[in-house]
């Protein structure tokens, strides 16, 4: 059905997760109804006009806590934490870690659920989206680094929570499936118009990493993810939920060999044709122009006379795999 497809696209979830979310809504609604009736029956001797006047108000108060409680068991707590944060921000005009603050003091019967939720929230990681168009070798290295393979220490928890791709059969999508990471397949017209900002905000994405992504990032997305920009007015760990920026990795030493059309083997061919003695990688901030954002990190490798675009590509890939994830950890640490 079109309605279901629209919801899946809006929430950026697959079929199985969608039905788990709907189950959580149903069970949470049922639980809140039963709790409401039970508690009000302790106060009112009969279901008179006063009972029915208070019932919808009390039900509204209990519902967020009931849904959060059920979401622990259906595995959808992160989705509902973000969902209720956005609802609270829109309804009450303020952010909330889990639900709007005005509902907290009015529901002592569910304080244990709120306590568990806030405890869970305090350990919430920084959510990253990786944009990629190809095989995803860099994406895999980043994912595994923050899973713990090679990660020695970092002061912040970091999680790759979304893979964004513009190629339906790209290898990075298989990696996402293997790792159980949600994916977002994008089309060029909508990307240029909206930047999929709403979808990224719905997923609580705070940091964007371009890892072999070949489309130019539109200004609407660049502006929405400037470091420090608010994300839907929500709070994370009692602080404003804000963007931490967008970064890219380029297979050359910028400002040389950058710009429109300079990607992959084209870069290596140009480096060799120019007789360069070294090449390398550049990790940089993303702005509205190709490869012109501020440089964060560079690493170099030697270019020898026997190098071909393929052998130089191997050297560059080794640098990317060695330095990209640790640089992200330093930026977010």
Backbone φ, ψ for residue 104 (5° rounding) = -70, -50
Bridge partner residues of 246 (DSSP): 208
At 209, list the tokens: 């990493």
**Within 13 Å and on the Cβ side, how many CA atoms surround 243?**
20
Question: What is the C-alpha to C-alpha distance for residues 67 and 196, in angstroms, rounded to an integer?
Answer: 27
CB burial readout 91-108, b (16+ within 10 A) else e:
eeeebbbbbbeebbeebe
Instruction: Report, as residue numbers or ranges, the catalytic residues.
Output: 250
Write down how long the chain is: 333
DSSP 8-class letter at 255: T
- What Rg do the C-alpha atoms of the chain give, in angstroms? 24
CB 32 within 8 A of CB 62: yes
Question: What is the C-alpha to C-alpha distance for residues 17 and 80, in angstroms, rounded to an integer?
Answer: 12
Q: Are strands 230-236 and 239-242 parallel, antiparallel or unpaired?
A: antiparallel
CB 163 within 8 A of CB 198: no
Helix (H, G, I), strand (E, B) or coil at 280: strand
Residue-by-residue DSSP string for 142-192? HHHHHHTTT----SS-EEEEEEEES-TT-HHHHHHHHHT--EEE--HHHHH
CB 129 within 8 A of CB 203: yes
């Amino acid at each position: 059905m079109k309605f279901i497809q629209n919801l899946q696209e809006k929430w950026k979830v697959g079929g199985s997760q969608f039905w788990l979310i709907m189950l959580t809504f149903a069970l949470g609604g049922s639980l809140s109804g039963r709790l409401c009736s039970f508690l009000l029956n302790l106060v009112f001797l009969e279901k008179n006009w006063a009972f029915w006047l208070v019932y919808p108000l009390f039900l509204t108060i209990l519902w967020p806590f009931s849904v959060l409680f059920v979401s622990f068991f259906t595995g959808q707590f992160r989705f509902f934490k973000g969902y209720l944060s956005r609802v609270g921000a829109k309804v009450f005009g303020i952010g909330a870690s889990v639900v709007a603050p005005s509902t907290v003091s009015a529901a002592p019967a569910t304080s244990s659920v709120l306590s568990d939720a806030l405890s869970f929230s305090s350990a919430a990681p920084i959510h990253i989206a990786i944009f990629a168009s190809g095989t995803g070798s860099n994406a895999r290295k980043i994912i595994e680094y923050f899973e713990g393979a090679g990660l020695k220490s970092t002061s912040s928890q970091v999680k790759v929570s979304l893979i964004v791709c513009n190629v339906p059969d790209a290898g990075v999508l298989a990696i996402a499936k293997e790792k159980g990471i949600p994916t977002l397949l994008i089309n060029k017209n909508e990307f240029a118009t909206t930047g999929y900002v709403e979808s990224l905000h719905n997923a609580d994405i705070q940091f964007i990493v371009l890892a072999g992504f070949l489309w130019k990032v539109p200004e609407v997305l660049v502006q929405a993810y400037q470091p420090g920009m608010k994300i839907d007015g929500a709070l994370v760990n009692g602080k404003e939920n804000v963007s931490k920026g967008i970064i890219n990795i380029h297979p050359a030493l910028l400002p040389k060999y950058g710009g429109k059309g300079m990607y992959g083997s084209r870069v290596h061919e140009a480096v060799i044709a120019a007789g360069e003695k070294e090449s390398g990688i550049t990790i940089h901030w993303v702005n509205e122009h190709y490869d012109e954002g501020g440089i964060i990190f560079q690493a170099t490798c030697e270019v020898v006379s026997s190098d071909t675009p393929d052998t130089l590509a191997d050297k560059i890939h080794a640098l990317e795999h060695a330095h990209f994830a640790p640089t992200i950890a330093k930026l977010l640490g």
